[in-house]
Structure 1
């Protein structure tokens, strides 16, 4: 059995994007999200979690087979519509998630064609769904969920639909991602491949907003106390790291192509409930050109001086620091090239 997460850890993840849109705002013509005052590019934690989920689903087999699933994924039903959350919840109603035979029988009765259960037995259905969710859906164990439940009056005695909900606070929480430098936004207009309408000689036009370049930083924390409730395992966390790195690298949609993971730190603490916090605030981008003119990873260096001072300050509370760095990213500390090999607590990740 996989070891459950029992210690606090923090994450720092940097990736960049070139000539693309890292996270469009659907309420503003799908433009990249930019702080108007600072010109800092903003990316939601929802976008980052989607990257991880898509990687799990497409590359690791979390597709509802072999006991591995993603809860938040698009599933079509027979009429061509998309499942809502209440219908999705019923996918996880499974007698095998229970051990008590009487409880199993209640689920079997509910699932039978003409079966009807008492209102008090709805709690057993909720228990079954919850057990199955945490056993199979890795995103529920990582990020938590709030799931509305509704059981039809046709299947529950009393003449009314019965509603309830399942809520788990996610052990893994990310702040909003922000670029480490001000960005410019470009408006691009081009022609499409097809005519504007049947018989027309003029092609359609496409319009889009992109960023020439953005280096985006995310800070995250993994809470061991919340992990107890979702049964988050160390294997799950290792897959999260893989999903952040390789998921970002494997995004192939037109608006996201060109994203490259550059740096990932995971600080593992030995002291319960301790963490440094706001790791992104201790790294600095030193541009080699005007900040708004940055167009590639070679146009700057990342200064880890303050970050390494923190690591030294809290050395007795840190168990290890897992890391992976892209070959093109230049890291410095104390005006020299960063060398992780001088500190035995730094352990290099490979994917």
Structure 2
């Protein structure tokens, strides 16, 4: 059974001396808008959700505590360092008979688009959650078809509550392969950037109408809910040291029907987050959210 009720959610995130989402077109500086408000893109957040689903997690009980067995999900869009099937591209993963759907599923003469989309949604949780476009040119083997899956789970970019202060530090890198080691070449010098402190807020929603098309269920929603509370576990790096990124709170609104009692804009607008991470909720009549602490 697909999702039985509309869901809205909000994430309150804390950044301390870390680069939450570097911009490769700007020297990997933390993303920020022209007014200085920090940003973590929706693509960045979905990448972390996919990784946590793939790594393994436990569902949450009514009090927000993890319980039960460890669950690991099949993910279509895998990051390079977390590949579990040896596939070198999304096309290979989709068309492989063992880990994917087989080449015939994407052959213009043999494929049934609706059937292929249904099988892809059944196989990969991220496809039935966020959607996916399977587009292969006619020059590819067994291709010649484009299939678009529209997912029911949408996430906005996270923005900081106040403008962030970005600190840049010059560093030396152990990457140089030139010279005799007596002089530092230009390729050994680099820059490292960080956000000193920041509180970020991201909003999202789950649509029952779109869930009917992909088979996204209440159980799938619970899985997304579980990994949102531990978004940064297993995500540490030089740019994001362990403990520098934290989920402070997950606010979870479950409506009492598929259409929703209120618009997502009104629900999201009922939350006001302060610069210290505290927040105020203007509870809407008949819609009381669940407030869950981060992992």
Bin for the TM-score computed over the shorter chain: 0.7 to 0.9
1:202-244 deviation digits (Å, cap 9, x = unpaired): 4522312211011110011110000011100122111112222
CA distance in 1, matches of 2:128, 2:87: 27
CA offset at residue 92 of structure 1? 6.4
**TM-score normalised by the chain length of structure 1:** 0.68
Correspondence for 2:264 among 253, 271, 277? 277
CA distance in 2, matches of 1:11, 1:82: 34
Query: Aligned to 2:148, what secondary structure does the other structure show?
Result: strand
Counterparts of 1:189-338 in structure 2 under 5 Å? 189-193=170-174, 197-203=178-184, 204-257=188-241, 258-274=244-260, 275-278=262-265, 279-287=267-275, 300=276, 302-304=278-280, 307-308=281-282, 311=283, 313-315=284-286, 318=287, 321-326=289-294
1:171-208 deviation digits (Å, cap 9, x = unpaired): 11011211111111111112234656352134522312
> Do the aligned partners of residues 202 and 16 (structure 1) sit closer, same or farther apart at CA in structure 2, a change above 3 Å counting?
farther
CA distance in 2, matches of 1:26, 1:14: 25
Correspondence for 2:165 among 181, 184, 187? 184
Conserved? CA contact 2:168–2:192, under 8 Å: yes
User: Which of 1 and 2 has greater Rg?
Assistant: 1
Conserved? CA contact 2:55–2:72, under 8 Å: no
> Do the aligned partners of residues 31 and 154 (structure 1) sit closer, same or farther apart at CA in structure 2, a change above 3 Å counting?
closer
CA distance in 2, matches of 1:276, 1:134: 27
> Do the aligned partners of residues 285 and 212 (structure 1) sit closer, same or farther apart at CA in structure 2, a change above 3 Å counting?
same
CA distance in 2, matches of 1:247, 1:193: 30
CA offset at residue 135 of structure 1? 1.2
**TM-score normalised by the chain length of structure 2:** 0.79
Query: Aligned to 2:168, what secondary structure does the other structure show?
Result: strand
* Larger displacement relative to structure 2 (270-279 or 173-182): 270-279
Output the aligned Cα RMSD: 3.3
Q: Give the count of matched residue pairs.
A: 272
* Larger displacement relative to structure 2 (86-95 or 41-50): 86-95
CA offset at residue 261 of structure 1? 0.4
Query: Aligned to 2:135, what secondary structure does the other structure show?
Result: strand
Query: Aligned to 2:76, what secondary structure does the other structure show?
Result: coil
Q: Gapped runs of 5+ residues in structure 2?
A: 59-70
What residue is the counterpart of 1:24 in the other structure?
A: 22
CA offset at residue 285 of structure 1? 4.2
What residue is the counterpart of 2:32 in the other structure?
A: 34
Conserved? CA contact 1:7–1:224, under 8 Å: yes
Q: Gapped runs of 5+ residues in structure 1?
A: 98-106, 112-117, 156-161, 288-299, 327-350
CA distance in 1, matches of 2:87, 2:124: 22
Counterparts of 1:61-210 in structure 2 under 5 Å? 68-74=73-79, 82-83=88-89, 85-91=90-96, 120=109, 122-124=110-112, 126=113, 129-150=116-137, 163-193=144-174, 197-203=178-184, 204-210=188-194
